[in-house]
Structure 1
Amino acid sequence: MAKKTPPDRPPNHPPGRPPRRPPRPLTPERLEKSALAYLERYASSAENLRRVLMRKVARVARHHPTDPDQAAEWIDALVARYLKAGLLDDQTYAEGRARSLTRQGASARRIAATLAAKGVERDHIDAALASRDDGEDAAEADRAAAFTYARRRRLGPYRAPDKRAEHRHKDLAALARQGFSSDTAHAVIDADPEE
């Protein structure tokens, strides 16, 4: 005999877990509480915070009558207040994210695309890329990032010597997918492991 799903549990809900409660109706106070909780956990650009809060509005609207235009006004006022208070600063966010991505071995193209996806304006992206270079030219900064990425992924000179030639094209493709130029990728993959 098949087990019946309890009436308070949705049909596709995992067993052993209580069903999620629907969100409470939206108010400016709850929206601000959500914004502060998000900013406690994550650094964010102003546009990214706006998107996160609008997704919350959409979730609440599935359960309660919600005016999205009114909620957008609340969010705009909230973001403006946070910008004025210094809780949000797109330039600082862009510079910090660019430094972090550089340490991970990201190319300038990858950094620019990541920041643009988070809603950072182009002038902030350019300034962040310039600050990431720390006085060296952009090509040298990208080359250093490519070596970092190759070391993390054990590509090119960081691969076992007997496997380098066999995996050369694959390693070049991996660097190209990360946004590095062909010249940079070749310089890194063909580098002498002793250097």
Structure 2
Amino acid sequence: MTGGRMNKHGEKRLPRPLDSARLEELALAYVARFATSAAKLEGYLARKLRERGWEGEGAAPIATLVERFVRAGYVDDLAYARAKSGSLLRRGYGQRRIGQALHAAGIDEQVRDEVRVGKGEERRAALAMARKRGFGPFGRGEPDRPQREKQIAAMLRAGHRLDSARELVNAATQEAALEWAGQGEEDE
């Protein structure tokens, strides 16, 4: 049997349309469970309205509800952007990819600029990716030209700059890669 509730005749029961109280309950449950941005919360509530319909008077108060949650501190785009940026950096993603993820989450450009990282953090993220994926001196043996090109392409897809990708993939030793990653410290 697939998901969904059934009535006494074995037919799938449609969920009740939403009203203001139920919409707020859904919003509270969502922000309690997930770190989110205002735009993501608004998208979630709009999707729930499409799925279930609206029972209340007039248009559903999604924007008003989201605004109230922002004022109450349940939703904070800056805090979300900082957390998401830090998480992606630790996983080895570059600044371009982080910017794309924040844009997709509805974070405005001013906030994205505020959480932009310095050169040192960008280098450490590139180093984290090279270590994790076994690129350059962190791999087994000396990579040949086609393998180096694939590694550089993977780093570019992860949002790293071309010069950083080349520097890491072409590093002669792990120590040289570590030294390069530490050079951006003074730029922060």
**Aligning the two structures, in what range does the TM-score lie when normalised by the shorter sequence?**
0.7 to 0.9
Corresponding position: 1:70 with 2:59: yes
- 1:121 match: 108
- Judging changes above 3 Å, is the alpha-carbon distance between structure 1 residues 69 and 50 closer, same or farther for their aligned structure 2 residues? farther
For the 8 Å contact 2:20–2:56, the answer to whether it is kept is no
Shift of 1:94: 0.8
Partner of residue 33 from structure 2, selected from 34, 41, 55? 41
- Work out whether 1:175 is the aligned partner of 2:167: no
Which whole-Å CA distance do the structure 1 matches of 2:14 and 2:62 have between them?
A: 21
Return closer, same or farther for 1:80/1:180 CA change in 2, 3 Å cut-off.
Answer: same
Q: Give the unaligned 5+ runs of structure 2.
A: 6-12, 176-188
Query: Structure 1 residue 190: deviation in Å?
Result: 1.1
Check whether the contact 1:143–1:188 (CA below 8 A) recurs between aligned residues.
no
Letter in 1 for 2:24: E
Partner of 1:104: 91
- C-alpha distance in 1 between matches for 2:35 and 2:58: 26
Q: Does 1:83 align with 2:75?
A: no
Q: Over residues 76-123 of structure 1, what are the superposed CA-to-partner deviations in whole Å (9 max), with x where a residue is unaligned?
A: 111111111111111111111111111111111111110011101111
Alignment length (residue pairs): 167
Q: Secondary structure at the match of 1:161?
A: coil
Moved over 6 A (4+): none
The answer to whether the 8 Å contact 2:98/2:159 transfers is no
Shift of 1:144: 1.2
State the 1:194 CA deviation. Answer: 3.3
Q: Which letter maps to 2:19?
A: T
Instruction: State the TM-score, normalized to the length of structure 1.
Output: 0.78
The correspondence for 1:140, drawn from 98, 107, 120, is 120
Q: TM-score, normalised by structure 2?
A: 0.81
Residue 70 of structure 1 deviates from its aligned partner by 0.7
> Partner of 1:155 in structure 2?
135
Matched, 1:93 2:80: yes
Residue of structure 1 equivalent to 2:9: none
Question: What is the RMSD of the two structures over their aligned residues, measured on CA atoms?
Answer: 2.0
Amino acid at match of 1:97: K
**Pairing of 1:50-69 with structure 2 (within 5 A):** 50-61=42-53
